[in-house]
């Protein structure tokens, strides 16, 4: 198997990484918390890099992945660091897509205050 899809969800508190095959079956996953970081250190770029390295090593060793599509979601600090970690792993990147959800109209506004 050559191609993998890597989903990186970077929130302000944690960074989640999931690697799937073309069908969407999960090959490996990891997070800043699962690598061993706790509390505020989970939200650092270094923790995101560590999580991505763990997942990339696993899918390269077990599944022989050579090419990856990357889907980024969220505004967190680990976003760019995670992308750099994928580039550094030696896997060829064929696609980088931002799938951050954007509200079109947002929630309904609060009622007007009574006088």
Q: Tell me, yes or no, whether 57 lies in a domain.
A: yes
Residue 64 counted as domain residue: yes
pLDDT in tens, the chain (115 residues): 789 999 999 999 999 999 999 999 999 999 999 999 999 999 999 999 999 999 999 999 999 999 999 999 999 999 999 999 999 999 999 999 999 999 899 889 999 999 8
Residue 107 belongs to some domain of the structure: no
What is the reported pTM? Answer: 0.89
CATH value at residue 68: 3.30.420.80
Number of compact structural domains in the chain: 1
Residue 104 lies in a domain: no
Domain that holds residue 42: 3-90
Give domain status of residue 100, yes or no.
no
Q: Is residue 18 a part of any domain in this protein?
A: yes
Tell me the torsion sign for CA atoms 103, 29, 34, 86. negative
């Amino acid at each position: 198997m050559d191609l993998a899809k890597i989903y990186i969800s970077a929130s302000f508190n944690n960074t989640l990484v999931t690697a799937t095959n073309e069908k969407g079956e999960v090959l490996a996953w990891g997070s800043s918390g699962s690598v061993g970081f706790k509390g505020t250190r989970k939200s650092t770029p270094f923790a995101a890099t560590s999580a991505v390295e763990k997942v990339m090593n696993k899918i390269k060793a077990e599944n022989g992945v050579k090419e990856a599509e990357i889907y980024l979601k969220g505004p967190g600090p680990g976003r760019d660091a995670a992308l750099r970690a994928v580039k550094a792993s030696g896997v060829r990147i064929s696609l980088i897509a931002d799938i951050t959800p954007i509200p079109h109209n947002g929630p309904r506004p609060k009622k007007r205050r009574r006088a």
